[in-house]
Amino acid sequence: EAGVAQSPRYKIIEKRQSVAFWCNPISGHATLYWYQQILGQGPKLLIQFQNNGVVDDSQLPKDRFSAERLKGVDSTLKIQPAKLEDSAVYLCASSLATGTQYFGPGTRLLVL
């Protein structure tokens, strides 16, 4: 069974630029999550989707971050404009409606 796929794996941008990350969850998983993991810390949930609807986006900095899952399968996370403090690993995870979350390899973002 294929795992959670993410791209790109690495991205370097300058502050105030825009960036987008893509995630394809495990087939059949209705729930998709985006996490931010700052170096030396545990992952922090940014947004959770159930199919194409948002379940929880309380920790998403909505002035600069946006995410969508239009067809209820893959998802994109966008940052516009990026700040230095956005440098982190962005992890995507998926699960059945509830239950174990399985993580992708992450996208490592460096904002200069």
**Any idea what DSSP says for residue 21?**
E
Residues 37-96 that bind another protein (CB under 8 A): 40-45, 48, 55-56, 91, 93, 95
Beta strand pairing call for 10-13 and 107-111: parallel
Nearer residue to another protein within complex by CB, 14 or 85: 85
Identify the residue among 4, 23, 79, 109 touching another protein (CB under 8 A): 4
Q: Tell me the DSSP string of 12-24.
A: EE-TT--EEEEEE
What number of chain residues touch another protein (CB under 8 A)?
24
The verdict on 99 binding another protein (CB under 8 A) reads yes
Amino acid at 112: L
> Are 68 and 61 contacting, i.e. CB atoms less than 8 angstroms apart?
no
Q: Which residues lie near another protein (CB under 8 A)?
A: 4, 31, 40-45, 48, 55-56, 91, 93, 95, 97-106
